Amino acid sequence: MTDVILGNARIVLEREVIRGTLVLEAGRIARIDPGATSVPGAVDCAGDLLVPGLIELHTDNLERHIQPRPKVDWPHAAAILAHDGELASAGITTVFDAMRVGSVVSGGKTDYRKYARALASELLETRAKGMLRISHFLHLRAEVCSETLLDELAEFDAADRVGILSIMDHTPGQRQFRDLSKLKDYVCGKHGLSEAGFADHVANLTEMRDRVGAAHEAGAVAAAGRLGAVLASHDDTTEDHVAVSAGHGVRLAEFPTTVEAARACRAEDIAVMMGAPNLIRGGSHSGNIAAAELAELDLLDILSSDYVPSALMTAAFLLADLWDDLPRAIATVTAAPARAAGLTDRGRLVEGMHGDVLRVAMIDGQPVLRGVWAHGRQVG
């Protein structure tokens, strides 16, 4: 592996930005030399920023690649490689690929079919063969309002190295979709349901949650322990939701929908993650709390690109402006997600860490990637 010397850069450390040179050797950060230096063979960064590679804990992007249109099942190997390349080009060097476990196989109203086990095996195989540019881990989204959750979870074991397991509950009328009109717009737009079809969809899911929800929630918590995965909650809305999450051992709250829930998470030492698209758009597409409001209240710890990979970088720099603190903002997409996921070898520009580094130029207030290194190898 060729050593890399990045000189004349503004290096974003945990609490400050310094001018200096960063050296990558054998896939890791070998040293950081402050001050103006002249090293033979160094890349002149011309004052550009160096930041850690971005860490993405929850993205649906792989699902989008395997099903680019309704009822289109794209070849999975090609989809995985395209997804990997897209993330690398967005500066994401570590990703937890979210895959839904828990299908709805009766009724035929929507296309919630099983796919996670087969796709996870294909992803792990491409990773083992060295076909991927960046680091990939598994994130299982356990849908409690489903028919097959426990059977699907049983197909995974410790060898899969599942990093995160999040407990999802998309029962209509609560959490993300307390406003049924928002759910109707989303489901009918995505699946083409009629008024009657939507009413049946709501009734079927509500009945299913009443019948199997408690057992599925308990099974998901047990599976996280069996798999050694970080347990996450999803769309907590009330203090009671957060209290249940804390009782389960949740340490990461994905997209809480209210200030009340975010404050309760902070009291329980549960990291709060919000969507970068929410921050960029100025609000939630579901009508829930705006990420910017939580940031202003000091209740935002982590950003996720969710469904737009390039949003992660853009949103981090928006936070830097909002907080007037670049290192703190960069930490929401690097050090903080690494800490939440239990990764101790990346997320900060520190000697000995993985050589996951981004070179970023600022042009007219827009961050522009000039180079992406993952484990010391340039991938973008």
Using DSSP, state whether 74 is helix, strand or coil: coil
Contacts of 181 by beta carbon, 8 Å cutoff, 6+ apart: none
CB 269 within 8 A of CB 301: no
Candidates 31, 33, 13, 10; CA nearest to 21 is 33
Domains of the chain with bracketed CATH = 1-52+346-380 (2.30.40.10), 54-344 (3.20.20.140)
Q: Is the pTM of this model over 0.85?
A: yes
Q: Which two three-digit tokens encode residue 52?
A: 């850690």
What is the length of the chain? 380
Residue 241's identity, in one-letter code, is H
Candidates 65, 163, 52; CA nearest to 115 is 65
Give the residue carrying structure tokens 């970023």: 360
Q: pLDDT digit string (tens) for 207-230?
A: 777 777 789 999 999 999 999 999
According to the model, what pLDDT value does residue 201 have?
A: 61
Q: What are phi and psi of 3, to 5 degrees?
A: -70, 150
Q: How far apart are CA 300 and CA 332, in angstroms?
A: 8
Instruction: Output DSSP code: residue 159.
Output: G
> How distant, in Å, are the alpha carbons of 30, 309, 330 from that of 21?
11, 28, 19
Q: What are phi and psi of 159, to 5 degrees?
A: -65, -20
Q: How far apart are CA 207 and CA 335, in angstroms?
A: 41
Q: How far apart are CA 82 and CA 60, in angstroms?
A: 14
Q: How far apart are CA 19 and CA 380, in angstroms?
A: 23
Q: What are phi and psi of 323, to 5 degrees?
A: -90, -15
Tell me the pLDDT of the chain (380 aa) as tens digits: 679 999 999 999 999 999 999 999 999 999 999 987 777 789 999 999 999 999 999 999 998 999 888 788 899 999 999 999 999 999 999 999 999 999 876 655 555 688 999 999 999 999 999 999 999 999 999 999 888 999 999 999 999 999 999 999 866 656 555 655 555 555 555 555 666 666 666 667 777 777 777 899 999 999 999 999 999 999 999 999 999 999 999 999 999 999 999 999 999 999 999 999 999 999 886 678 999 999 999 999 999 999 999 999 999 999 999 999 999 999 999 999 999 999 999 999 999 999 999 999 999 999 999 999 999 999 99
Q: How far apart are CA 353 and CA 345, in angstroms?
A: 5
Q: Which two three-digit tokens encode residue 212?
A: 């199997």
Q: pLDDT digit string (tens) for 174-214?
A: 655 565 555 555 555 555 566 666 666 666 777 777 777 78
